[in-house]
Amino acid sequence: MTPADIETFGPDAANKAVAFMEYANSSALLATAPRWAQTGIGSLLYQFKRFPAQILYIQMSALNAMKRQLAGTERTEEQIEDDRVARNAFIYMNATGAALVGAKGVPFYGLAAWVMDQFMGEDEDDTNTRVAKTIGDKYYYGLIARGLGVDVTDRISLTNLMIRDKGNYRPENQLQYAAESFGGPTIGIMLRLGTNLTKLGDDNPRVAERAIEGLLPTAFSNAVKSNRYMEEGYKTSRGDDIVSDVRTSDPLKQLMGFTPARFRAEQDKLARDRRVLAGVTAARSGLTERLFYALRDEESDSTIAGIEREIEEFNEKHPEAVIKASTIRSSIRTRRQGSVTAEENRGNVISNRRYINALDESNAQYFDEL
In a domain, 369, yes or no: no
In a domain, 114, yes or no: no
In a domain, 115, yes or no: no
Please give the pLDDT value at position 171: 64
In a domain, 104, yes or no: no
Q: Specify whether 243 is located in the same domain as 187.
A: yes
Q: Specify whether 40 is located in the same domain as 173.
A: no
Q: Specify whether 241 is located in the same domain as 266.
A: yes
C-alpha 295/C-alpha 303 separation (Å) is 10
What's the pLDDT tens digit per position in 251-266? 999 999 888 999 889 9
- Higher-confidence residue: 31 or 92? 92
Q: Specify whether 248 is located in the same domain as 138.
A: yes
C-alpha distances in Å from residue 254, one per residue of 157, 233, 236, 304, 313 = 19, 12, 17, 55, 45
Please give the pLDDT value at position 172: 64
C-alpha 287/C-alpha 284 separation (Å) is 5
Count of alpha carbons within 13 Å of 180, Cβ hemisphere only? 18
Domain boundary among 245, 274, 303: 274
User: In terms of residue numbers, what domain contains 92?
Assistant: 3-96
- Higher-confidence residue: 132 or 243? 132
Please give the pLDDT value at position 224: 92
What's the pLDDT tens digit per position in 102-138? 988 888 888 899 899 889 888 999 999 999 999 999 8
Using 50, 70 and 90 to split pLDDT, how confident is the model at 178? confident
Q: Specify whether 176 is located in the same domain as 319.
A: no
Element (H, E) at 188: helix 184-199
pTM equals: 0.75
Using 50, 70 and 90 to split pLDDT, how confident is the model at 351? confident
C-alpha 107/C-alpha 159 separation (Å) is 5
Domain boundary among 259, 274, 289: 274
What's the pLDDT tens digit per position in 8-47? 667 777 677 666 665 555 455 556 666 666 666 666 666 6
In a domain, 368, yes or no: no
Amino acid at 98: A
In a domain, 106, yes or no: no
DSSP 8-state class, residue 76: -
Q: Specify whether 241 is located in the same domain as 286.
A: no
What's the pLDDT tens digit per position in 294-314? 988 888 889 999 999 999 999
- Secondary structure (3-state) at 238: coil
Element (H, E) at 260: strand 259-260
Q: Specify whether 267 is located in the same domain as 293.
A: no
- Higher-confidence residue: 154 or 209? 209
Q: Specify whether 290 is located in the same domain as 334.
A: yes
Q: Specify whether 41 is located in the same domain as 86.
A: yes
Number of structural domains the chain divides into: 3
In a domain, 110, yes or no: no
Q: Specify whether 145 is located in the same domain as 246.
A: yes
Render the burial of 258-290: b for 16+ CB within 10 Å, e for the rest: bbbbbbbbbbbeebbeebbeebbeebbeebbeb
Please state the separation of Cα 198 from the chain's center in Å: 22
Using 50, 70 and 90 to split pLDDT, how confident is the model at 201? confident
Q: Is the pLDDT of residue 156 over 60?
A: yes
Q: Specify whether 239 is located in the same domain as 294.
A: no
Please give the pLDDT value at position 231: 87
Q: Is the pLDDT of residue 185 over 90?
A: no
Q: Specify whether 251 is located in the same domain as 167.
A: yes
Domain boundary among 226, 259, 274: 274
